Amino acid sequence: MKPLFVLLAALCFIPAPAGAQDRAIPPRLIADLSQSRIDIVYTFAGAELLVFGAVQYADGRLPEESPDVVIVVRGPPQSITVRRKSRVLGLWLNTDSVRFETAPSFFRAASSRPILDMVDERTAAIFELSPEFLQLSPTGADPDKVATFEEGFLRSRIEAALYGSSPDGVDLVENVLYQARIDIPSAVPVGTYTVEIHLIQDGEVAASTTRTIDVEKSGFERDVYVAAQRESLAYGIASVALALILGWTASAVIRR
């Protein structure tokens, strides 16, 4: 990894073409991932994704003030209905709900400093730089109700390790090289994930770049997953039948 970082650093100090210094050329982000695919097998206990790269400045000179870097790993969006249970006549029943149309299935953010120390709330919301600034697209509810359900939804996702943020999770070396390690839990959903890297300067996003990573089931888990998607009825019948057989077998063993 060190030789690659040295190469990235050298690229960052390549002078711009003649006359380029006279124009306001924004910096450029160079980014890469430790892997482009994560395979989920029966022994999968989570993974660690390394995001690394460098900042290439147009004139080859470092800025007077240290920039910041924010890295966001985002799973495929989902439509999710969040329900609230209440006690009715001695029974716990679903009495209210809110539907969120664009909730990421996974969301982890890492930054070199706390988000609001770098940008204002508007910028944080536009770029969705941490879980509390996600735009979940709620439907058919008043603002107070939405805020309550959104808080509960975020709390449940954080407890499940599917959402999270690390305000000091990005290491920035000499204002040029950066890296962050993102934990991928064992219960992570499958799909194509986007990795967004943002460079923050003077309270604004000065440069951004994106990479993708595929999270897929493999082996027996993939066969079962594909069967459940393609033949849902047969899969359901087989699951019920297997449960009945196992229950009958267990009962027979206990009686003996």
**pLDDT of 6:** 47
For residues 197 and 129, give the distance between their C-alpha atoms in angstroms, rounded to a whole number.
Answer: 10
- Taking the C-alpha atoms of residue 111 and residue 198, their distance in angstroms, rounded to an integer, is 9
- What single-letter amino acid sits at 101? E
Distance of alpha carbon 242 from alpha carbon 238, whole angstroms: 6
Strands of the chain, DSSP E: 28-33, 37-40, 47-56, 68-74, 77-88, 91-104, 107-111, 138-139, 163-166, 170-173, 177-184, 191-201, 204-217
- Please provide the DSSP assignment of 3-22 as one string: HHHHHHHHHHTPPPPTTGGG
In the block, tokens 């711009």 appear at 16
For the entire predicted model, the pTM comes to 0.76
* Both tokens assigned to 122: 């508007």
Low-confidence ranges of the chain (pLDDT < 50): 3, 6-7, 16, 18-23
Cα(11)–Cα(31) distance, integer angstroms: 12
Looking at residue 18, its pLDDT comes to 46
CB within 8 A of 198, min separation 6: which ones?
69, 70, 71, 72, 127, 129, 205, 207, 208
pLDDT tens track for 90-108:
777 767 889 999 999 999 9
User: Domain segments of the chain: what residues?
Assistant: 28-76+103-217, 218-248
Local structure of residue 76 (DSSP, 8 states): P
**Domain 28-76+103-217, CATH class in plain words:** mainly beta
- From CA 108, how far away is CA 165, in angstroms rounded? 6
Phi, psi of 174 (to 5 degrees): 55, 30
